[in-house]
Amino acid sequence: MSKIEDIIFEVRNLTKYFRSVDIYGHTEIIKALDNISFSVRLGHTLGIVGESGSGKSTIGRCVLGLTKLSSGEIILGGEKINYNRNKDINNLRRKTQIVFQNPQRSFNPVYNIRNSVGETLNVRPDWSKTQRLQRIEEVLDAVKINEELRNRRPEQLSGGQLQRVAIARAIAPEPSLIFLDEPTSSLDLSVRREVLSLLDELQNNLQITYVFVSHDLEVVRAITNNIIVMYRGVIVEKGASEDLFNNPSHPYTQNLLAASKL
């Protein structure tokens, strides 16, 4: 069980409703998330799994302020985030980052690699220009992007190289929490292993906390400490990764594992 002082990130009773209007003007309330609660320890990885539409990606969008939550509390580093206060939002942008599923869509095609990484350092106005330039080189070194690639544009890199740049961009402002939203699903098997190994290495070196969203149970098992299983906006099961894989208690989890043959 997590010690309170170890918890870096906590979600309490998170609920998200969407309104949908049909062609006849009738309003339907869609409950994307229903009273979700969980916490993550410093330097650990929480996996969020479930089928498409289960609500797993909506959690990240709510936490990062990309989608307005309907109710609930988000606590980062022991402080509740007020999404209506600019100071809290600026602090959130510095302390949390995200790596998306498709790296090609998350980069400005006009910027070269150095500029793409440097763009995220706008959340660090406390750093000088020299510090920012030095940090860009440090994180590109950390993800093993060679010097000759750093002035190229995104379309000139492979998918695996670009995802490593996306990781460099995420760690650049020294966040405490990174959301990884299906970060390996668009990569082939060998590149996927390299990216997972890199994430593990960075976590060990930097004590970063990850929330890893995926439908790929094999990947989740390899990289996470704990898992929550989502179904139609509700957490149906959660626990230590190996315990959940070895002895799933909920029928939905059992079906997921049976389908993946893990």
What is the pLDDT, as a whole number, of residue 3? 53
Give the residue extent of every domain in the chain.
4-260
Question: Is residue 139's pLDDT more than 80?
Answer: yes
What is the pLDDT, as a whole number, of residue 262? 53
Q: How far apart are CA 172 and CA 135, in angstroms?
A: 7
Alpha-carbon distances of 256 from 51, 80, 215, 218, 252, rounded to whole Å? 9, 34, 9, 11, 6
89-126 per-position pLDDT tens digit: 988 999 999 998 887 888 999 999 999 999 999 999 99
What is the pLDDT, as a whole number, of residue 1? 42
230-251 per-position pLDDT tens digit: 999 999 999 999 999 999 999 9
Q: Identify residue 14 by its one-letter amino acid code.
A: L
Question: Is residue 261's pLDDT more than 80?
Answer: no
What is the pLDDT, as a whole number, of residue 44? 95
Q: Which of 222, 113, 7, 62 is nearest to 245 (CA)?
A: 222
Alpha-carbon distances of 225 from 154, 160, 200, 243, rounded to whole Å? 33, 24, 12, 10
Query: Taking the model in full, what pTM does it have?
Result: 0.90
CATH of 4-260, one of 3.40.1670.10, 3.40.630.30, 3.40.50.300, 3.40.50.1360: 3.40.50.300
Residue range 165-183: average pLDDT?
Answer: 95
